[in-house]
A and B are shown apart, each in its own frame.
Chain A
């Protein structure tokens, strides 16, 4: 049974970077696509990008293109989301999730709260 376990809450200053991890158990990470979705407080869901295991590269929403990176370390079965040049609007809960073949997200991590505060 596949499970996703995310890293703990982070507090960062504006301009800094944050790296959130998503550890996969019960599956081979090199065969698994992982998507990242975020949710600002009291707001809706925003798709950020995904890790494509076939190419070993991230695919990103244009909104984040120049300051996001999604990578994987297969030796520890973990996918990482790095977001740079943080600003207040990046305060959110960040979720990792695995997709079905049609892209629907059927398994989610528990979420990681990232707070940007000076």
Chain B
């Protein structure tokens, strides 16, 4: 199985901050890497697909980069709605594993 790691596991930030989350795969996954946001009590929500493509309806302050084994999610100017947990997922090979998540909370 492909193992996914994320760093940091949590971070504290303020509205307006620039936030970067890193996701690494244990082996090459090309660009089959996707990012989700999950707020408490809700289902996950797709933000970025195929490493760098913004899902329809997602604000442009979210962006993703990377390929191979190293990927990043950046939130350009953190908004109140962005305080949530973020997961990466690879769909290069089954099982389609998720990272452990990064929680962004108020500083």
- Closest CB-CB distance, A32 to chain B, in whole Å? 16
CB distance from A105 to the nearest CB of B (A): 6
A40 contacts the other chain (CB 8 A): no
Determine how close the nearest CB of chain B comes to the CB of A44; give it in whole angstroms: 5
CB within 8 Å of B: which A93-118 residues: 95, 97, 99-100, 102-106, 108-111
Chain A proximity of B56: nearest CB distance (Å): 9
Which of B32, B38, B46, B99 gathers the greatest number of chain A CB atoms within 10 Å?
B46
What bracket does the count of chain B residues touching chain A fall in? 20 to 34
B98: CB under 8 A from chain A? yes
Q: How large is the interface on A (under 10, 10 to 19, 20 to 34, 35 or more residues)?
A: 20 to 34
**Chain A residues whose C-beta falls within 8 Å of the C-beta of B38 in the assembled complex:** 45
B8–chain A nearest beta-carbon distance, Å: 15
Q: CB of A1 within 8 A of chain B? A: no
Binding site for A on B (CB under 8 A): 1, 32, 34, 36, 38, 43-46, 49-50, 55, 87, 89, 91, 94-101
Other A-B pairs, 8, CB within 8 Å; known A44-B98, A47-B97, A102-B32: A44-B101, A45-B87, A45-B89, A49-B95, A102-B50, A105-B89, A106-B55, A108-B43
Complex A-B, nearest 8 residue pairs according to Cβ-Cβ distance, in ascending order: A103-B91, A61-B95, A108-B43, A104-B34, A104-B49, A45-B98, A47-B96, A106-B46
5 contacts between A and B (CB under 8 A): A37-B98, A45-B44, A47-B98, A102-B50, A108-B45
